[in-house]
Structure 1
Amino acid sequence: MNKQLKLILITSSIIYAVLFSSASWAQTVLQEIQQTGVLKVGIRKDAVLFGYEDGQGWKGYCTTFADSLANSLSRQLNRTVTVAAVRSTIQNREAIVRNGNVHIECGPNTISSAKEKVENIKYSQAFFITGTQLIVKNQNRNVSLANTSIGVLQGSANLAAVARVYPRAEIVQFPERYLGITAVSNGKITAFAGDTILLVGEAVRQGLPVDNFALLPSQPLSCDVYGMILPANDSQWQNTVNSFINSSEGKQAWGTWFGGLVPYLKATIDYCTK
């Protein structure tokens, strides 16, 4: 074999290895799940009611949704499908989907067509609607917030809404949502801003009586529609997830975690859906 032919064969082998080294390369999500029997789901550790850890593993809507989806896929694919939970964060939620580390990221992800293009991901259809509000102790429900201290979660979209509406307020950023709710409860700040459902959820997780707090203003500062993060170029998987969200099993998972909170969320839902 001459040196030129040998070089061509070696080069071809390297290219082939690079392109096809991943078993899931060019596979659809359903094909990969059929092959592995594993549904990989990104779940937050601190988005109470959606996904959180309590020392005994993950809990929340996303765990119930993932388990129910896996059961549905088991019937669809005629094989047992189990769930592998992967911790996701605000910072990595798009990347872990885009890189194939998870098949779906379930969390309070505000749907944004601009972000779909920038991050090369796709959102599922909406499964939740909420808005930016501020949680205060009942004794402060009639206090003007214009010159008070207002907490927000670092890196959250709520910061812009608070700064726009309360430009003279002292804005205090917290690395974790629970720290902000605790600061309100202890009187260290007057209010903490966030998505309505996440504020209520964190108060519930801390065992704080929800009736001791108020959500202001009655009309939220902004409306946010949540979708799950999916791979951009897999319409089959997108249709599968969207169909399950609309299914009786999908709605049952929703009702398990959010059904009892509808009275607290009704004003926001009504405003944001009118």
Structure 2
Amino acid sequence: MNKKLKFIIATSLAFLGTIFPQKISQAQIQEKIIRKEEITVAVREDVFWFGSREDGKRTGYCVDIAYALAERLSATGNTLNPIRVRFVTSTVQSRWDLVTSGTVDLECGPNAILPEREEKYGVYFSTPFFISATQILAERGRQEEDINTGNGVVGAIRNTTTVGDLEKVFPEEQIEKKFLSLEQGMDALMDGEISGFSNDGTILLGAALERNLDLEKNYTLITVNQANGRPFCSGYGFILPGGKKNLSWQRYINDFLANDKKAQRIRFDWLLDGLSDNSQRLWEACSKD
């Protein structure tokens, strides 16, 4: 990882530490979790690095961070037994309802932090734990040329921020937003149904690696830029229950992300160490003033 990126990451973590001091009162911990000695966490299964399946087992940043959070809750809550983690599978469509219905205590995934989403769905977001930007995965050659010349059809998952980003750049007839999942969109791209498939660059990179696509020779990632030349950047945050009564839970999570040494190590190991050239470029572009 280059020195500039290390400085950006170190500075952002230090800044969070000043906002969320390490001392937090016992009253701020959710009584339900302590009483049940169980935390329920929603995690995707289709997003490389964040939440997926390997040999039938859940793996990814969100899985490890959930266990680390349970450990911290056990220690700060003085429970008789260690707090268990119960996982629920979330999707792009179900993540909001899982949180607002009380089915889960939080949802972890590549969730773009937007104030209008908090208002629309009645949730809170945590502070960001990663940054990415909207890109398009396309086959080199004709597909790439069609997109760059404004002739190709670009697919995206419906009801996502990606669709909104594309609508600011492409005419309506060049956007196919019928897809319900990452897998559907990737299949359509492989079958030639669309010229490119759009999502956050980090997610597309993981999907390409899972399918063994050659990003040096056969495929490429095209950054979608705004009119000012800047990428459409997204900070990722946990989805948390909304309402004033849950502000203490949001503060607890933010403190955990900012100050817990294990949480910081998990973030580094999964999302920052050996960051790809593509992700480094996006991170740096999105971190500029």
Which bin holds the TM-score, normalised by the shorter protein?
0.7 to 0.9
Q: Select which of 73, 93, 96 maps to 2:95.
A: 93
Is the alpha carbon distance of 1:34 and 1:56 closer, same or farther for their aligned partners in structure 2, counting shifts above 3 Å? Answer: same
> Which shifted more, 225-234 or 167-176?
167-176
Instruction: Note if contact 1:116-1:122 (Cα within 8 Å) is conserved in structure 2.
Output: yes
2:280 alignment partner in structure 1: 266
Give 3-state SS (helix, strand or coil) of 2:102's partner: coil
Aligned counterparts of 2:153 and 2:120: Cα–Cα separation in 1 = 34
Q: Percent identity?
A: 28
Query: Secondary structure at 2:88's aligned position in 1?
Result: strand
Number of aligned residue pairs: 248
For residue 109 of structure 2, the aligned residue among 100, 107, 110 is 107
Whole-Å Cα distance in 2 between the matches of residues 244 and 211 of structure 1? 38
Give the alignment partner of residue 244 of structure 1, picking from 247, 256, 266.
256
* 1:223-238 matched pairs, under 5 angstroms: 223-232=233-242, 233-238=245-250
1:179 corresponding residue in structure 2: 184
Equivalent residue, structure 1, for 2:161? 157
How far does residue 218 in structure 1 lie from its aligned partner after superposition?
7.2
Tell me the equivalent position of 2:222.
Answer: 216
- Superposed CA deviations along residues 5-50 of structure 1, whole A, max 9, x for unmatched, are xxxxxxxxxxxxxxxxxxxxxx975311211110110112223322
Structure 1: gaps spanning 5 or more residues: 1-26
Query: Per the alignment, do residues 37 and 168 of structure 1 end up closer, same or farther by CA in structure 2, a change over 3 Å counting?
Result: closer
1:214 match: secondary structure: strand
Q: Work out the CA distance in 1 between the residues paired with 2:112 and 2:182.
A: 17
Equivalent runs, 1:2-151 vs 2, <5 Å:
30-54=30-54, 56-79=56-79, 80-139=82-141, 143-145=145-147, 146-151=150-155
**What is the TM-score when the length of structure 1 is the normalising length?**
0.80
Q: 2:172, 2:249 → 1: CA distance? A: 47
Displacement after TM superposition at 1:171 (Å)? 2.8
* Structure 1 residue 159, shift from structure 2 partner: 1.8
1:29–1:234 Cα contact (<8 Å) kept: no
Change (3 A) 1:93 1:186: closer
> Considering only CA atoms, is the larger Rg found in Structure 1 or Structure 2?
1
Which amino acid is 1:108 matched to?
A: P
> Could you tell me how far apart the structure 2 residues matched to 1:29 and 1:104 are?
14
Query: Structure 1 residues 211, 39: closer, same or farther in 2, change over 3 A?
Result: farther
The separation in 1 between residues aligned to 2:210 and 2:221, in whole angstroms, is 17
Say whether the 8 Å CA contact 2:157–2:182 is kept in structure 1: yes
Cα deviation, residue 185, structure 1: 4.2
Q: In structure 2, what is the Cα distance between the partners aligned to 1:46 and 1:84? A: 18
Q: CA deviation at 1:157?
A: 2.1
The alpha-carbon distance between structure 1 residues 218 and 165, as it changes in their structure 2 partners (threshold 3 A), is closer
Q: CA RMSD in A?
A: 2.4
1:20 corresponding residue in structure 2: none
The 1:264/1:217 distance shift into structure 2, 3 A limit, reads closer
Unaligned runs of 5+ in 2: 1-26
Select 1:254's aligned residue among 254, 264, 267: 267
Q: SS of the counterpart of 1:143?
A: helix
Letter of the aligned partner of 1:215 in structure 2? Answer: L
Alpha-carbon separation, structure 2, partners of 1:256 and 1:37:
28
